[in-house]
């Protein structure tokens, strides 16, 4: 391999030199041919034969030099292809030899482990047969005996076939075994941040879980982070999607929204109240129109019966 690679490097260097010299010779040929053509167009054709002959000789010499470099370059390129093919064949032979030797070592390890395994299985079967009166022990003996017999027969066929594959791989009659596939990495699924749907009574802006600015218009549904939705509910900026006003007002403004309007609420900058939190009343109770009666001034008398001792 080292000899072939050294030879290939030298051939590629020579090909590069020949290519540059061929390009220079081709340029010189074009220049000489242009001079001869200009002579034919401008000089006295009857009185200047000596100059014409000199120009023709220069064109012929340049053409010969150019063609010589072209022929040499083609020959070297053929040698490069042949050297590259020999290197590829040598590399493939090395890979086949390595793979066949690895398979042979693997088979040696299988044979080394198979014989003690079968012997241990036979000893286990004999030991279990001594407690044949126990159902599970008898089933274990039959199972181990059957499987060990199957492994012994299958191992004999497999090892014989694989020993032949070692030679076939080395000679190129069988492909090199593919490497054992690596288990695919487990993709980590990021948990989806919790959100809550609300109905907006006012236009508002906020930032989502990723920090991106969001805007939602008045009388529209919005799905936002739970903490932001709870803040909007506490401040009366939004109500539950079960609120009756949603059925009446949803989409009432159409698309007439200006995110930069002064009445847009910034939910991230809204201050929390210091007193008790504002809770949106239950829509069912609100529609029932219950009236709270003050009975604190009414006199009450309670009778409690107690047993006498």
| pLDDT value, residue 301 | 59
Q: How far is CA 204 from CA 26, 131, 215, 258, 273, in A?
A: 76, 81, 6, 10, 18
| pLDDT value, residue 18 | 92
Task: Judge whether residue 209 has pLDDT over 90.
Answer: no
Task: Judge whether residue 216 has pLDDT over 70.
Answer: yes
How many CB atoms neighbour CB 124 within 10 A?
Answer: 15
211 — pLDDT class (breaks 50, 70, 90): confident
Q: How many domains does the chain have?
A: 3
| pLDDT value, residue 264 | 87
**In this structure, are 133 and 75 located in the same domain?**
no
In whole angstroms, give the CA distance from residue 171 to residue 96: 8
- Higher pLDDT, residue 302 or 29: 29
**In this structure, are 90 and 7 located in the same domain?**
yes
How is residue 86 written in tokens? 């020999």
Is 203 within 8 Å of 264 (Cβ atoms)? yes
**In this structure, are 63 and 29 located in the same domain?**
yes
276 — pLDDT class (breaks 50, 70, 90): very low
**In this structure, are 161 and 244 located in the same domain?**
no
Of the chain, the end-to-end C-alpha distance in Å amounts to 118
| pLDDT value, residue 118 | 92
Q: pLDDT tens, 177-193? A: 888 888 888 777 778 88
Domain presence at residue 306: no
Domain presence at residue 190: no
166 — pLDDT class (breaks 50, 70, 90): very high
| pLDDT value, residue 271 | 64
**In this structure, are 88 and 11 located in the same domain?**
yes
Residue 267, Cβ density class (10 Å: 0-12 exposed, 13-18 middle, ≥19 buried): buried
| pLDDT value, residue 272 | 58
Q: Flag the least confident range among 128-142, 147-161, 273-287.
A: 273-287
Pick the last residue of a domain from 171, 186, 210. 171
**In this structure, are 161 and 226 located in the same domain?**
no
Domain presence at residue 129: yes
**In this structure, are 84 and 111 located in the same domain?**
no
Q: For the chain, what percent of residues have pLDDT higher than 70?
A: 86
For residue 13, the enclosing domain spans: 2-95
Which residues make Cβ contacts (< 8 Å) with residue 5, sequence separation at least 6?
A: 87
Domain presence at residue 188: no
**In this structure, are 90 and 121 located in the same domain?**
no
Q: What is the mean pLDDT of the chain?
A: 85
Q: pLDDT tens, 47-85? A: 677 888 888 899 999 999 999 999 999 999 999 999 999
**In this structure, are 227 and 261 located in the same domain?**
yes
């Amino acid at each position: 391999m080292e000899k072939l690679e050294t030879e290939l490097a030298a051939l590629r260097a020579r090909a590069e030199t020949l290519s540059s010299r061929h390009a220079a010779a081709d340029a010189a040929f074009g220049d000489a041919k242009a001079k001869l053509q200009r002579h034919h167009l401008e000089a006295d054709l009857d009185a200047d034969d000596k100059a014409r002959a000199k120009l023709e000789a220069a064109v012929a010499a340049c053409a010969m030099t150019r063609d010589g470099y072209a022929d040499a370059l083609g020959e070297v390129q053929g040698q490069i292809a042949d050297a590259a093919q020999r290197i590829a064949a040598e590399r493939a032979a090395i890979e086949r030899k390595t793979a066949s030797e690895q398979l042979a070592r693997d088979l040696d390890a299988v044979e080394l482990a198979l014989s003690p395994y079968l012997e241990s299985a036979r000893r286990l079967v004999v030991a279990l047969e001594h407690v044949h009166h126990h159902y599970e022990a008898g089933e274990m003996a039959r199972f181990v005996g059957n499987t060990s017999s199957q492994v012994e027969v299958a191992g004999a066929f497999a090892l014989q076939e694989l020993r032949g594959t070692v030679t076939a791989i080395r000679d190129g009659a069988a492909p090199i075994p593919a490497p054992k596939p690596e288990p695919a990495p487990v993709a980590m699924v990021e948990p989806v941040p919790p959100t809550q749907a609300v109905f907006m009574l006012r236009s508002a802006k906020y930032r989502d879980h990723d920090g991106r600015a969001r805007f939602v218009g008045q009388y529209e549904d919005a799905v936002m982070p739970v903490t932001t939705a709870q803040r909007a509910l506490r401040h009366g900026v939004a109500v539950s999607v079960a609120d009756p006003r949603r059925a009446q007002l949803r989409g009432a403004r159409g698309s007439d929204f200006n995110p930069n309007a002064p009445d847009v609420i910034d939910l991230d900058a809204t201050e929390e109240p210091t007193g008790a939190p504002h809770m949106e009343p239950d829509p069912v109770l609100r529609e029932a129109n219950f009236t709270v009666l003050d009975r604190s001034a009414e006199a009450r008398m309670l009778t409690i019966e107690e047993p006498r001792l």
